[in-house]
Amino acid sequence: MEQRDLRNIFGQFASGVTVITCANRDGEPHGATVTAFTAVSLEPRLCQVTLTRTSKACGFLSGAPFAVNVLASDQVDTAMHFAGRPQSPEPTWEDGPTAPVLAGTAATISCIPWREYDGGDHVIYIGEIVDASSREVDPLLFFRSTFHDLGAPSASAAWNGSLDDPHSGWFDAQTKFTPLHLATSPA
C-alpha cells in the first residue's frame, strides 16, 4: 500500500486538533500541532499523544511535563502557527500547572510523563493528567486534510431512533409512568 493511500484512509477519521506544549531545552515554551491525541484511562487519569519521531517537539517531550491544548474552532491560525507556518500575531502563552499553555483553547489538559513507547516513525507519549479545564466553545476539527468546525447538531440522528431525545426533552409533560409491580398481572 502506498503511503499517500494510507494517509488518505487515515484522513477519513475526523479528529480534534491539539497543540502539545512543553518547555524546550532553554526553558522557553514550544508547541506542535497534533491530531493524534486520545483519552486512555480514567483511573489512573491518562491520555496519549503521538508525535513524529523527527519533530523538534519529540526531542523536547521525552521525560518532560506537557500540556494538551484542545483548540477552539476559531483557532485555525494557532494550528497553522504550530504546524510550521508562523502567524502574526503569535498565539498567547500562559503559565500552566506543568508546562506552558495556550490562551483561548476549548480545553487544556496538563500532564506529567507516565510512559513512552516506540510507535514506528512516531513516539507514543502517555501523560498522567494532573489538571484539566475547559470552556463551553466548539472545538476545531481536522478531516480529509482540511480544518472544519463542528457545525449544527443533527437532531434527526442524535439518538438514532431512541425516544429519549435530549433536544425535545427526555420525557414530555404528558408522560405517565406505571410502577412495574402494578403493570404485571398475576398469572
pTM for this model (two decimals) = 0.78
Query: What confidence score (pLDDT) does residue 184 get?
Result: 65
39 - beta bridge partners?
47
As a whole number, mean pLDDT of residues 117-131 equals 95
Query: What confidence score (pLDDT) does residue 150 get?
Result: 75
Read off the pLDDT band of 144 (50, 70, 90).
confident
Q: What is the mean pLDDT of the chain?
A: 85
Residue 128 CA to chain centroid, in angstroms? Answer: 15
- Which domains occur in the chain, in start order? 3-149 (2.30.110.10)
pLDDT at 157 over 90: no
Is 47 within 8 Å of 129 (Cβ atoms)? yes
3-state secondary structure of 10: helix
Query: What confidence score (pLDDT) does residue 159 get?
Result: 54
As a whole number, mean pLDDT of residues 56-70 equals 93
Residue 16 Rama label (left phi>0; alpha psi -120 to 50; beta): beta
Region of poorest pLDDT, from 37-51, 56-70, 138-152, 163-177: 163-177
As a whole number, mean pLDDT of residues 102-107 equals 97
Read off the pLDDT band of 155 (50, 70, 90).
low
